[in-house]
Amino acid sequence: MLSENLPAPTFSLQDKDGNFHFLKTNAKYLVLYFYPKDDTPGCTIEAIEFSKHILDLKKLGAEVIGISGGDNVSKKKFCSKYNLSVTLVSDPDFVVSKLYGVYGEKSFMGKKFYGIKRTTFIISQERIIKIFENVKPQDHVQEIISFLQNLS
């Protein structure tokens, strides 16, 4: 896992429409959230919450990008099904997830497997300024908004 105050690894990943998104942004802050899988209960709650508050986050100077495995078709279906406005990009081979240290062994109901650990990075000027680990999807966006408000 990366640490706060370190440079954020660069990336280039495609969204549902094939557009590329990068670490470099014109926004004051980049909220980079990693989530396990499209259209699963916790990930759906988190994506809906980000979509509901996307304008609040933009007013605070933040751009939001969600990253998970799967392909662009999965992202397109997920966004369409729930009318999501948050940008979701595909990391099909988990290359970026591994760079950020969020891909690894997990367990669910006693079964071990590998996947993305729900984690969010707040990045400013290409440096990690805050890491949120083991987040609760229903409360997480408010937690980010509060953090960004305290920076102002």
What digits encode the pLDDT tens for the residues 96-129?
Answer: 999 999 999 998 889 999 999 999 999 999 999 9
Tokens (6 digits) for 90 = 């595909």
Identify the pLDDT of residue 109. 87
Mean confidence (pLDDT) of the chain: 96
Is the backbone of residue 126 left (phi > 0), alpha (psi -120 to 50) or beta?
left
Confidence label for 86 from pLDDT (cuts 50, 70 and 90): very high
Catalytic residues: 43
Domain boundaries, the chain: 27-151
Q: What's the rounded Cα separation, in Å, for the pair 25 and 76? A: 23
Neighbours of 4 (CB within 10 A): 11
Identify the pLDDT of residue 107. 87
Identify the pLDDT of residue 1. 74
Number of separate helices (H) and strands (E) present in the chain = 5, 9
Fold entry, domain 27-151: Glutaredoxin (3.40.30)
